[in-house]
Structure 1
Amino acid sequence: MKRILVAAALLLGMAGGLHAATLDEVKARGQINCGVNPNLQGFAAKSPDGAWAGFDADFCRALAAAVLGDPAKVNFVPLDAQRRFEGLSKAEVDVLARNTTWTMERETKLPLRFPGISYHDGQGFIVKRLLGVTSALNLSGAAICFQTGTTNEANVEDFFREKEMTFSPTRFDRLDDALKAFDEGKCDTFTTDVSTLYAVRLRLANPDDAIVLQDVISKEPLGPVVRQGDEQWFNIVRWTLFALINAEELGVTAANADELKAKSNKPDIRRLLGVEGSFGVDMGLDADWALRAIKATGNYGEIFERNLGPETPLAIGRGINALWNAGGLLYAPPVR
């Protein structure tokens, strides 16, 4: 894992260092280049008609609506785990929105910045029911499939060392290859973020033959990523995310945003929707930046339910991704 990160750091260094004036480039180009997972159902994947759909794809659309006034002005750029940071550093994309974990090393050794947490996750394991395993504590001696370019193997090493357990690693550059090996019985388990496990389980030959264990062995705060050195763009990405979260807390939806802008006397809503203050202008946008983002995709809760919630194939409950005042960890600073 350390070798992978060092190699990535070298690539980033060769890419020319810090990159500024992203907003100007986005406006001149007329679209946002948004790096997404190549194929992760619920987060970013192409539908049969060729359109991108998912939780991360919708964040890209909200950002495009805030910045360019049109959620369709997004160029989705598929980036796997191996190339995601290089692609961002080389300005192939303006932002990553692809289930990437915020870590200290990625903000210190690599010139990256995480504007916020869009999804609180944790690493888990998927196993075949026939294995008879009900807990990660039963996996000592197991053959484990990993995707390289992630924090997954390091997390397993920490967990197994603490529990005085052993494992045999099998590594793959591509998620599809790791999943195929697990499906074919070449390893006892595959491990990655729990949200990803729910998605990839649906791609197995017989999804009902596999279960995601309840154990979570790490913190995986996932969120958008930008380059260091451009505070304006960092703030725009950060506050677009925060606007979507605040909108849910305030009851502002895609359907009622215009009405609330016209009629609400609640100060928090008036500031969020641009009636009071100069918050959008202070970032280099306009007063309606958050209004457009919310109308384009709905608030955070609407995005979650549409792509990940109980009525979707993934059927993920809000859990710790519920709002802070509803028992979860989701919290955004106020617009004020």
Structure 2
Amino acid sequence: MRHLHRALAPLALGLLAVFSLPAQAGKTLDSIKQKGQLACGVSTGVIGFSAADSQGQWHGLDADFCRALATAVLGDPNKVRWVPLGSQQRFTALQSGEVDVLARNTTWSLSRDAGQGMLFAGINYYDGQGFLVPKKLKITSAKQLKNAEICVQSGTTTEKNLADYFRAQNIKVKPVVFDKFEPSLKAFFSGRCQAYTTDASALAFIRSKEAPNPDDYVVLPEIISKEPLGPAVRRGDEDWFGVVRWVLNALVEAEELGITQARVDSLKTSPDPAIQRFLGAGDDLGKPLGLDKDWAARVIKTTGNYGEIFTRNLGADSPLKLPRGLNALWNKGGLMYAPPLR
């Protein structure tokens, strides 16, 4: 047994050395730095999440996350190459390396996380699927949609949830499936379908901004699914995954610590150790990620914290005016919770 211990000792020391090494930047991070640009996969136009305006400027919760990521890695929120992707294209684009990160109001599910070569870095919006119907039909519940034709986009969890929900209710409906968002809306508003189904956040926008007359339509009360939306990366590069995950966590942690876009500089003299660490005045939280010491402070100074991003894109300062709801901080009645940056 003594001989076995002696034989294993070099192996044990070797393993200890490996696990003691500091984290190194992964190949994706190196590539982004070499190119000087972050390739971000976004939607083809979902207001509140990622949509281009008439000047070609991208806005939304996901768009701002891409800016935050570019700021952390490249020091500039404008060094983003926007890659608009349809629901059918998005996973292939990520898997093939066409994009470095997918931030496209995409639901985190087991089959996607474990079966499509991708890793979700976290959740940036808790959503759920609902239904929009014309008021003139006098429908007050999804359970009244028997034999209804329902417009839905293909290649989404929405399509599967629709089938599952009505099968469980033993109600027959007729899905009318479209490859793209715009044709599905056009069909619904032209009367091709009696209902339209997608995430509740999108229904709020559709009703208020796309409907010919918003008062002619109503969102039904049922929420039939959990839709945790968040950014994803390819499997196989844990270092890049760590960067994406911690940039997302930093946005949430900053809100909890009271670090806002306007207060970043003034808080650098705060006596709070957590704020000191976050702003780069304490421990170096950039080195393990392959980033500089000031990355988190730079991100908040550029994009604001999670609450500020939510307010301008989805909340009170946006056309949608959605309540925080589940997307409030954990200590304010919501689910938003970040591991500590320390």
- Same fold judged by TM-score > 0.5? yes
**Aligned amino acid, residue 160 of structure 2:** A
- Cα shift readout 1:272-331 (whole Å, capped 9, x = no counterpart): 112222221110001111111111110000000011112321110100100000000111
The answer for the alignment partner of 2:332 in structure 1 is: 326
For 1:310 and 1:130, the matched residues in 2 are separated by 29
Displacement of 1:225 in angstroms is: 0.8
In the TM superposition, what are the counterparts of 1:288-327 in structure 2 within 5 Å?
288-327=294-333
1:166 aligns with 2:172: yes
For 1:208 and 1:84, the matched residues in 2 are separated by 34
1:277 aligns with 2:283: yes
Please tell me whether the aligned partners of residues 40 and 200 of structure 1 are also in contact (alpha carbons under 8 angstroms): no
In the TM superposition, what are the counterparts of 1:93-242 in structure 2 within 5 Å?
93-201=99-207, 202-242=209-249
Secondary structure of the equivalent of 2:265?
helix
**Aligned amino acid, residue 327 of structure 2:** N
TM-score (ref. length: structure 1): 0.92
Displacement of 1:213 in angstroms is: 1.7
Displacement of 1:127 in angstroms is: 0.8
For 1:175 and 1:324, the matched residues in 2 are separated by 33
Displacement of 1:114 in angstroms is: 0.1
- Cα shift readout 1:78-118 (whole Å, capped 9, x = no counterpart): 00101001111111110011100000000121101000000
Structure 1: which 5+ runs fail to align?
1-19
- Cα shift readout 1:9-54 (whole Å, capped 9, x = no counterpart): xxxxxxxxxxx61101100110101111111111111112221111
For 1:32 and 1:49, the matched residues in 2 are separated by 20
For 1:225 and 1:244, the matched residues in 2 are separated by 16
Q: How many correspondences in the alignment?
A: 316
Q: Quote the sequence identity (%).
A: 55
Secondary structure of the equivalent of 2:132?
strand
Secondary structure of the equivalent of 2:339?
coil
1:92 aligns with 2:98: yes
Secondary structure of the equivalent of 2:76?
coil
Aligned CA-pair RMSD: 1.1
For 1:76 and 1:213, the matched residues in 2 are separated by 34
Displacement of 1:142 in angstroms is: 1.4
The answer for the alignment partner of 1:77 in structure 2 is: 83
More displaced, 202-211 or 78-87? 202-211
- Cα shift readout 1:207-242 (whole Å, capped 9, x = no counterpart): 332122221100000000100011111010000000
Aligned structure 1 segments of 4 or more residues deviating by more than 4 angstroms: none
For 2:218 and 2:296, the matched residues in 1 are separated by 40
For 1:207 and 1:181, the matched residues in 2 are separated by 16
- Cα shift readout 1:127-162 (whole Å, capped 9, x = no counterpart): 111111112122222111110010112112221122
Structure 2: which 5+ runs fail to align?
1-25
